[in-house]
Amino acid sequence: MDERGRRSVLLDTLKWTVRTAWGLSLCSALAVGSAYLFSNRPSSVILPFLFVVVIVAIAARYGVMVGILGSVISAGIFARLLYAPLHSFRVNDATARAALAWMILGGIAIPYLVLPGLRSRTKK
């Protein structure tokens, strides 16, 4: 591989890394905002199901890797900031635990099903 090819691969990798980091930070910020917005509400159990739409939309723009990592990070954020006991990854409510598990599963599977041509390192 010549110098131009190596530079192109390095530039593509850098672009992919920046896009992934930007998508993850956007997903995390929206999860934190949603957790604070829906805290102390009885309908907070449905928030992970609604947040799957946000994860899929962000994955459609920034790649499947953002959908996978974003769903795991968002579940951690919701567990720490939204469900009792607060500031712990342990969730006492079985319904909330199931909702978080479905959010992780949906955030991983739905981008692959809805966007079959999308892969992590696609050029736009």
Report pLDDT digits (tens) over 65-110.
899 999 999 999 999 999 988 888 999 999 999 999 999 999 999 9
* 3-class SS of residue 100: helix
Average pLDDT over residues 20-48: 93
pLDDT at residue 23 above 80?
yes
Two tokens, residue 5:
């090819």
Q: Would you say 104 and 69 are in contact if contact means Cβ atoms under 8 Å apart? A: no
Q: How confident is the model over 43-61, as pLDDT tens digits? A: 889 999 999 999 999 998 9
CA angle 67, 111, 108 (to 5 degrees): 55
Two tokens, residue 58:
């962000």
Average pLDDT over residues 27-51: 92
* 3-class SS of residue 119: coil
Give the C-alpha separation, 13 to 87, whole Å: 35
pTM of the model: 0.85
